[in-house]
Amino acid sequence: MRRTLFPSRETRPGGGPRRRRAPGPTRFLAVLGAVLTGAVLLTAALFLLLGGAGSPGGATGTPAGSATSGRDVDRVVGQLVSVFENGTPEIQYAYVEDLDDGRGYTAGRAGFCTACGDLLTVVDRYTAQVPDNALAGYVPTLKALAASFSDSTSDLDGFPDAWRSAAADPEFRQVQDEVTDELYVAPARTLADANGVSSPLGLAALVDTAVQHGTQDGPDGLPDLVRRTNADMGGSPADGIDESEWLRGFLDIRRATLENPSSSATSEVWGESVGRVDALDALLDAGNLDLDTPFTVDPWGDPQTIG
């Protein structure tokens, strides 16, 4: 899939995941490289084939027996990740901020960034659909920044206002949903299906890990965490391992990775993010594998209700 096209964030300039300064919880996101055309086409095909679980409006065409069959959990998964990312279940399409973290502007529902290529993907696609938009004039600069992984914002005067203005357009919000689905949700669903992870909570755990750790091959990426879990558990749910026990093992490995990542540059901010894992563990302890709503999560000392 996309793994070889998006190197681990640890190999990028700027080090580890981004940290939101105030107010609300620490903010983290996997850093994605500049998006190549072939990767976009491939992930779009996966999106059409498998459906997307990141869009609040819900996906269609989900295969029977998959993690989202029987009912629509897209909204719930999206809200849960939003709590982990932004401290609120309300999807933050208009969010934009320079976090001084080596990635330029961070913006939108999934923390797309100007130095990483994923924000360019959003703006490029939106401009193809709506040529006369407030962000269109920034495309050449965004391409240059993504190509060099530059965190410079000196040539982006007025960009935050333009992003917030575009976020009022339902078409722009839909583009954000699509790109989130392609970059995070489709790879997570593929791994869920391949490993027999069929519960909504299992899907949510993999999607959130994709958002924070990335979907690339590497010692801290989602695929490697799944492989390590399978090795530790002697298989996956597809091999007959109890899904609850497998998820507990997966979350233990994710917590250990956050506390001791392969790159020392990420250790401080990742160590502060274990509340994400604690919140997922609490749902598992409560037996809420179906993510039955309403439920409350408290990753950052500020309980949020989803439902």
Task: Please state the domain extents for the chain.
Answer: 3-306
Any idea what DSSP says for residue 260? S
What H or E segment, with its residue span, contains residue 107?
strand 105-107
Residue 90 has pLDDT above 90, yes or no: yes
Q: Which are the catalytic amino acids?
A: 85, 101
| Structure confidence by residue, pLDDT tens digits, 122-166 | 999 999 999 999 999 999 999 999 999 999 999 999 999 999 999
Confidence of residue 216 (pLDDT cuts 50, 70, 90): confident
CB atoms near residue 129 (< 10 Å): 12
Q: What is the pLDDT of residues 272-304, one digit of tens each?
A: 889 999 999 999 999 999 999 999 999 999 999
The pLDDT, as a whole number, for residue 6 is 30
Distance CA(263)–CA(241), nearest Å, equals 31
Question: CA 220 to CA 217: how far, in whole Å?
Answer: 8
The torsion of the CA quartet 41, 108, 90, 169, rounded to 10 degrees, works out to: -80
Nearest Cα residue to 31 out of 296, 210, 298: 210
Task: Tell me: pLDDT of 209 over 50.
Answer: yes
Token pair 């989602």 in the structure block, residue: 222
Confidence of residue 213 (pLDDT cuts 50, 70, 90): confident
Domain topology for 3-306:
Chitosanase, subunit A; domain 1 (1.20.141)
- Residue 29 · residue 103 · CB < 8 Å: no
Sequence-ordered alpha helix ranges (H) in the chain = 37-50, 74-86, 118-129, 139-148, 159-166, 170-180, 186-194, 200-213, 222-233, 243-259, 267-271, 275-285
